[in-house]
Structure 1
């Protein structure tokens, strides 16, 4: 059976099923890059399109999840560069979220955590989500971020310190 794009692959159908199984993790990771759920869904869709288009480039024996996360990270960075270069202007008021006061304590804490995570530098937020959020090893995170394990450890330590300070209302800036 030919794989997506017409390329034959021995493992492609099984590998494509494994990609589908990872969609929830991809959605969760995409939410760390975006503030709106539709943007996260678009990022997941772009990631899946790129992954399935080049599924024959995946090396068996390596982490499929890390491979997909790397594709997503690269897709986000490409989109980010395009958006900043194009500078589309201010958002339409119809696109803004409807302001509602959270009625439950967990909603308030969730909002505070999201705000604190949003205040972190992109490098620190990314490492924190990969290691603390998704439970990846330092090596997997280093592979995704294309840097040394020591850099991951340093970023994670700084991210935890910044997040703690943000959550206690004492930004480190």
Structure 2
């Protein structure tokens, strides 16, 4: 058994106490102690025998606590955004609808080039191979397609495709 694994049981009461002070909930504190032990064991190679174990574990525990806190806040924010669509998102939806409509009005070859390179993120050479044309042809179709989108979209601004 390694030095860390042998020393961990003696640190458990201090870890529990520290976790309860952070979480203020026994169940959450127990989960935090488990997360701390898992992280410590995963980082076992980083711990040096001459380093004080308890401060090292408390640091791991603190980082785990704040990471979980940030994750819960982010999840709550995303859940709130999904539950109530905000008016600020409506222009994005309208802009996307306008972009899709403009793409449908483009000639098929320009539409295909924009979708492959801009929508799918393919390299020009790969898109050219898929279409069976030279890379310069794809570049020309992209240029003409972007120009067509600029003409059709409100404000004359094309998407970053």
TM-score by length of 2: 0.46
- Which is richer in helix? 2
Which protein is bigger by CA-based radius of gyration?
A: 2
Higher RCO (CA < 8 A, seq sep 6+): 1
